[in-house]
Amino acid sequence: MKKNKCFASIAVVFIIVILVVGGVVYYKINNSKTISIINPTINWKRYQNDIYGFELKHPSSWVLRDGNKDYKQAGLNNFYQFCSKVITTPNEPLGPNDNFVGSCESQFIKVDVWNPDTEIKIVTNYFSTLKLITENKITIGGQPASELVYSGLSQISGETHTWHLFIVHSNNFIYSISGDSCMDNQIECHQVISNFGFIGIY
C-alpha cells in the first residue's frame, strides 16, 4: 500500500515537472516568434556614415557598395548602395554612361547625398521618364521629408510598377533614398526608411 502511494506521488511530481518544462519551452518559442514579428529588423546590421551624418539598418546579408570612385554628376557628393549582391567591384568604377542600377543585383537601397543648393529637378532626374502619381509629406529620422510616388513600365520586366523616392534635408545636405526595394511599396523598403536617422558631422 505504501509502495503504491509512493509511486503515485512520484508520478504526480513527474507529471508536474513535465507540464512546467513544457510550458516554459512553449512560452519561449512563442515569445521569440512574437518578438521577431514585432521587430523584424532585430537581426539587421546598422550602418553609420560619419562623413555625411546618417545611419540606417539593413538586412544582414546585404553588402555596401560605396560610390566613392564612381562618376558623379554635379551636385552629388556621393552615393551608397546596400545590395543583396554586388556585381561591379570597387576596382571597376562606373563611368558617366554606365547604368548605376546595374551595380547591384536583386534588392537594394540607394542613398544619394547632394549639396544643399542642388535643384530638386536634378535630384529627381532619374525618375523624369516616369509619371509622378503623388507626393506625401512624411518624417524621416525626425526631419520633414517628401515621399514621391512614380509609376511607369519596368525596363526589366516590362510590367507597370510604382517607385518611391524619399527626399529629406538635414545636416546641410539633401538626402534622396530609392532603389529596387522601394519598388511597388515593398515592406523591406519602409523598414529601412523607418530606421533611417541623422547623426552629427564629426
- Does residue 174 contact residue 115 with C-beta atoms inside 8 Å? yes
**Who wins on pLDDT, 56 or 72?**
56
Half-sphere exposure of 80 (CA within 13 A, CB side): 19
Query: Judging by beta carbons within 10 Å of its beta carbon (0-12, 13-18, 19+), is residue 26 exposed, middle or buried?
Result: exposed
Highest mean pLDDT of the ranges 64-68, 103-107, 173-177? 173-177
- Does residue 162 contact residue 129 with C-beta atoms inside 8 Å? no
pTM of the model as a whole = 0.74
Q: Read off the pLDDT band of 36 (50, 70, 90).
A: very low
Whether pLDDT at 5 is above 50:
yes
Q: Please report which residue ranges of 39-141 form alpha helices under DSSP H.
A: 120-123
Q: Which SS3 state, helix, strand or coil, does residue 102 take?
A: helix
Q: Read off the pLDDT band of 117 (50, 70, 90).
A: very high
For residue 31, give Cα distances in angstroms to 14, 17, 34, 43: 26, 21, 5, 16
> What is the C-alpha separation between 161 and 57, in angstroms, rounded?
25
CA-based radius of gyration for the chain: 25
Half-sphere exposure of 95 (CA within 13 A, CB side): 1
Centroid of chain to Cα 64? 12
Mean pLDDT to the nearest integer, 153-181: 89
Q: What is the pLDDT of residues 151-165, one digit of tens each?
A: 998 776 778 999 999
**Who wins on pLDDT, 106 or 153?**
153
Whether pLDDT at 134 is above 70:
yes
- Does residue 76 contact residue 92 with C-beta atoms inside 8 Å? no
